[in-house]
Amino acid sequence: MAAKNTTLCYIEAEGKYLMLLRNKKKQDLNEGKWIGVGGKFEADETPEECLLREVYEETGLKLTKYRFRGIVTFVSDTWDTEYMHLFTADGFQGTLLDCNEGELHWIPKDEVENLSLWEGDRAFLKLLAENAPFFTMKVVYEGDKLVEISQQVYE
């Protein structure tokens, strides 16, 4: 199995995150889950290039201010290993468009934990909420069940 590189971004405005309810794609690993916006690297892209392209494709927004927050390694017995480059953004221009992968909603940050999330996402969302410095995290699943999390925060 080949590992893949992806980006994920939590766009912030007025105490809310722009969240994507994944409910439109066929055979979607994230079906029914709420996540940030992002996607797979294309050939020769940097994390930042992938971030800007994916956010624009999924939302119609052009990021003007963003921050690289960490790298999360997802390991599973049922899907390929994924190295997810995690960003937050609080500067953007443009008009929000419909997304072909799901429904976009602005969700108050303090309500995000009540959504249908991957259990591992709760761990890195907690670090984002605490404004942790750059971090790495390893999240291990057996099927949909979270079995291990380890993390390193860099001061």
Give this prediction's pTM: 0.93
Task: State the residue range of the domain holding 74.
Answer: 4-153
Q: How confident is the model at residue 3 (pLDDT cuts 50, 70, 90)?
A: confident
CATH of the domain at 43: 3.90.79.10
Which amino acid makes up residue 11?
I
Please give the mean pLDDT across all residues of the chain.
92
Sign of the dihedral defined by the CA atoms of residues 78, 105, 57, 138, in that order: negative
What is the domain count for the chain?
1
Is the pLDDT at 29 greater than 70, yes or no? no
pLDDT in tens, 52-91: 999 999 999 999 999 999 999 999 998 889 999 999 999 9
Within its chain, how far is the Cα of 107 from the centroid? 15
